[in-house]
Amino acid sequence: MDDSPPDGRAWPRLRLLTSGAAAQVNRPLPSGAGAPAPAPAPACASASSSAGDGGLAEVMEKVAHGDKQAFSVLYDALAPLVLGIVVRVVRDRAQGEEVAQEVMIELWRQAARYRPEAGSVTTWAGTIAHRRAVDRVRSAQASADREQAQASREHHTAFDEVAEQVETRLESEQVRRCLSGLTELQRQAVTLAYYRGLTYREVAETLRTPLPTIKTRMRDGLIRLRDCMGVTT
């Protein structure tokens, strides 16, 4: 905590995100924002195997005891996934980085609440990151509630494009292959919900499909993905 009030403005700090840090992360990326290099980034190792998560569970235990070095390891393993999904949902690089930072801090804060029997560390982090991103999007939406209907119509025209983008930009070969194994409606239901952060009602509206059908397609789609990816818990 800095305790030098230069012009009487250094009030007790309630914020962690200093404007300085925000300015730093807002710098354009050398690689070009949003255009991932075709070569699989080594930083994304966690993408390929959730089984390789075994090591992370031990790291988590240390993090839960306040070990910052262990957290540094955890950061390296999880930050690409966290940033990736948050930016995907929030659809704004700068805001996404801000949310990703909050999520990483949240992982530190909640480390002792991670329960290995409930799922892998990667799943835990992915769930927290996605939820946080969705919260951000929905609270932004709530403030412009009337625009919702309009946005929804826009989704309708945009979703083909989005689905395409998602597929071509997926870095994981397996996920791409598994997604292509779904029916059109299943894939749209799953990706609009997860990558766009829509509720299943919004998905139903967007796809002009009855609610029960959407619920079923989501479930069938996830079951197929789960089996295709060989997900076990």
Partner 1 sequence: MKHHASDAHTLAAAYALGALEPDERREFTAHLRECQACRQEAAEFEATAARLAAAVSQAPPPALKPAVMSAIDGVRQLPPRVATTAPSRLSGVLRRRAVPLALAACVAAAALGGVAVWQTQQNREAEQRAGRAEQRLDAISSILAAPDARTVHGRTSNGALTTVVSSPARDRAVFTAAGLPAPAGGTTYQLWLDHDGTMRPAGFVDGDGTVLIEGGTAGAEAVGLTVEPDGGSPRPTTAPLLLMPLTA
- Residues in region 178-197 near partner 1 by CB under 8 A: 190-191, 193-195, 197
Query: Is residue 83 within the footprint of partner 1 (CB under 8 A)?
Result: yes
Angle 212-216-217 from CA coordinates, rounded to 5°? 115
Neighbouring CB atoms inside 10 A of 62's CB total: 16
Chain centre to alpha carbon of residue 54: 21
Residues 133-152 that bind partner 1 (CB under 8 A): 134-136
With binding defined as CB under 8 A, does residue 91 bind partner 1? Answer: no
Minimal distance, residue 156 CB to partner 1, in Å? 17
Smallest gap, in angstroms, from Cβ of residue 150 to partner 1?
A: 20
Residues 17-46 that bind partner 1 (CB under 8 A): 17, 21, 24-25, 27, 29, 31, 36, 41, 43-44, 46
**Nearer to partner 1 (CB atom), residue 153 or residue 230:** 230
In whole angstroms, give the CA distance from residue 135 to residue 105: 16
Element (H, E) at 160: helix 147-169
Query: Among 4, 5, 19, 38, which residue interacts with partner 1 (rule: CB under 8 A)?
Result: 5
Q: Does 206 bind partner 1 (CB under 8 A)?
A: no
By CB under 8 A, is residue 207 in contact with partner 1? no
Within residues 105-134, the interface with partner 1 by CB under 8 A covers 105-106, 108-113, 118-120, 122-123, 125-127, 129-132, 134
Question: Which 8-state DSSP code applies to residue 33?
Answer: T
In the set 171, 181, 185, 209, which binds partner 1 (CB under 8 A)? 171
Q: In terms of Cα–Cα distance, which of 200, 184, 181 is closest to 192? A: 200
Options 54-62, 69-77, 144-152, 153-161: segment touching partner 1 (CB under 8 A): 69-77
Asked if 219 and 212 touch (Cβ cutoff 8 Å), the reply is no
Q: How many residues bind partner 1 (CB under 8 A)?
A: 102
* 101 lies in the site for partner 1, by CB under 8 A: yes
Q: Which residues of 115-135 are buried (b: 16+ CB within 10 A; e: fewer)?
A: eeeeebbbebbbebbbebbbe
For the packed helices 211-229 and 173-180, what is the interaxial angle rounded to 10 degrees? 140
Q: Exposed/middle/buried for 56, CB within 10 Å: 0-12, 13-18, 19+? A: buried
User: How many other C-beta atoms lie within 10 A of the C-beta of residue 78?
Assistant: 24
Q: Which stretch binds partner 1 (CB under 8 A): 54-62, 149-157, 170-178?
A: 170-178
Among 61, 64, 91, 162, binds partner 1 (CB under 8 A): 64
